[in-house]
Amino acid sequence: MNAVVDPNGPDLVNIPTNPIPEGARAGFFKTSDNVQLRYALWPKSEGAHRGTICLVQGRTEFIEKYFETIADFRRRGFSVATFDWRGQGGSDRLIGNKKLGYVDKFEDYWTDLRSFHGEILLPDCPPPFYLVGHSMGGLASLHAGANDRLMFDRIFLSAPMVALDRQPLSMAGMAKVAEALSFVGLGRMPIARKADKPASETTFPGNPLTSDLIRYMRMVDVVKARPGLEIAAPTVRWVAAAMEAMAEANRDSFPARMRTPLLMLAAARDEVVSAAAIERLGLRMRTGRHVVIAGARHELFMENDMIRGQVFAAFDAFITEQST
């Protein structure tokens, strides 16, 4: 086993506004292509054991962002296992400018997840395994379900990055443009908007992520405590990889490849990913469906208590359903 474990979990940021849930075990493992990823495990906290949640994050995110959600899953009787994707959080950064989001190809995230499953989940965590993914992690989870229907028993997705609205071309068209720019040597160039600013209390009003100020500021506090966890703009190469993965998820042949029971939640007020695309894909899935959460912004697990209540009600109902 390639995992390097520190039982005290000092690699996790512990601050008063976002304390580490009790029982954490953190460390590093190597993927099959030799990238070092940071991971953390939590055993169930009480009651009968129900299996393990494998929690995968969106772009720019890190383990600490999900401490509250991890505690919610543990109270339900689950162990939780999570990791930082390559190129972000406490995992290896892939290019010289560590603040930029980069991946060579989207299949590399599949390598991360498959390696985590083999190196950490199977030897260290009790089955059954449930995959929970947000945004970019949701897209990676969709591809995982299409690639291997036996790896996870069920897949639950929060605002999966199936498509982006307000683009000048289709996802496939955008992928071709970004691929062409990468081919001529611009793959590591950032793609940023002038309006993009680091998160702070002043950026909360009108933000597209959450209506909850306390949860928004928790992440600001974590980044202040450890600035190295943060990444900013994506690169052209990341955009090429992500657009092609989204294009694949929207092809007519994709729904038939998904054989694992699946529930996707769409945020009705999502300005980051396309809620309409999630609905369209949900209607085409043979083993899956979708639910739209009214009034919600993109980060469903970071939203206000009323919206989070709906998210976990959907999760509870889905996980306790009799397997199809």
| Owning domain of residue 49 | 4-320
- Give the number of domains in the chain: 1
Mean pLDDT over 186-199 rounds to 82
**Quick check: 129 and 81 in contact, CB under 8 A?**
no
Task: State residue 8's pLDDT score.
Answer: 38
State how far the Cα of 197 lies from the Cα of 216, in Å rounded to an integer.
14
CA 141, CA 113: separation in Å to the nearest integer?
9
**Predicted local distance difference test score (pLDDT) of residue 37:** 96
Query: Cα dihedral sign for 102, 158, 261, 115?
Result: positive
Q: pLDDT tens for residues 119-148?
A: 999 999 999 999 999 999 999 999 999 999
CATH of the domain at 206: 3.40.50.1820
Alpha-carbon gap, residue 77 to 47, rounded angstroms:
6
Bridge partners (DSSP) listed for residue 82: 40, 55
- The pLDDT assigned to 196 comes to 65
* DSSP state for residue 189 in the 8-state scheme: -
Check residue 198 and give its pLDDT: 81
By CB atoms closer than 10 A (0-12, 13-18, 19+), residue 119 is buried
C-alpha to C-alpha distance for 59 and 84, rounded to whole angstroms: 10
pLDDT, residue 66, reads: 98
Reading the block at residue 206, the tokens are 């009108």
CA dist 103 to 35, 80, 154, 181, 188, Å? Answer: 12, 26, 27, 15, 10
Please name the residue that has the structure tokens 């506090």. Answer: 221
Q: What is the pLDDT of residues 155-181, one digit of tens each?
A: 999 999 999 999 999 999 999 999 999
